[in-house]
Amino acid sequence: PQSFPELKNDTFLRAAWGEETDYTPVWCMRQAGRYLPEFRETRAAQDFFSTCRSPEACCELTLQPLRRFPLDAAIIFSDILVVPQALGMEVTMVPGKGPSFPEPLREERDLERLRDPAAVASELGYVFQAITLTRQKLAGRVPLIGFAGAPWTLMTYMIEGGSSSTMAQAKRWLYQRPQASHQLLRILTDALVPYLIGQVVAGAQALQLFESHAGHLGPQLFNMFALPYIRDVAKRVKAGLQEAGLAPVPMIIFAKDGHFALEELAQSGYEVVGLDWTVAPRKARKLVGKTVTLQGNLDPCALYASEEEIGRLVQQMLDDFGPQRYIANLGHGLYPDMDPEHVGAFVDAVHRHSRLLRKN
Decide: helix, strand or coil at residue 175: helix
- Residue in 14, 34, 68, 358 annotated catalytic: 34
Task: List, edge to edge, every strand of the sheet that includes 144-149.
Answer: 74-75, 144-149, 206-211, 251-255, 272-274, 293-298, 326-330
- Residue in 23, 35, 157, 195 annotated catalytic: 157
CA distance 244 to 294: 28
The verdict on whether 53 is a catalytic residue reads no
- Residue in 10, 23, 35, 43 annotated catalytic: 43
The verdict on whether 352 is a catalytic residue reads no
- Whether residue 121 contacts residue 244, with contact meaning beta carbons closer than 8 Å, is answered with no
- Residue in 10, 72, 79, 276 annotated catalytic: 79
Q: Which residues contact 93 (CB under 8 A, 6 or more apart)?
A: 47, 48, 49, 99, 100
The verdict on whether 157 is a catalytic residue reads yes
Instruction: Calculate the alpha carbon distances from 291 to 244, 271, 283 in Å.
Output: 27, 8, 15
- Whether residue 56 contacts residue 132, with contact meaning beta carbons closer than 8 Å, is answered with no
The closest of 354, 301, 351, 304 to 330, measured between CA atoms, is 301
The verdict on whether 43 is a catalytic residue reads yes
The verdict on whether 312 is a catalytic residue reads no
- Residue in 10, 23, 30, 135 annotated catalytic: 30
CA distance 140 to 74: 11
For residue 248, the Cα-to-chain-centroid distance in whole angstroms is: 18
- Please list the active-site residues: 30, 34, 43, 79, 157
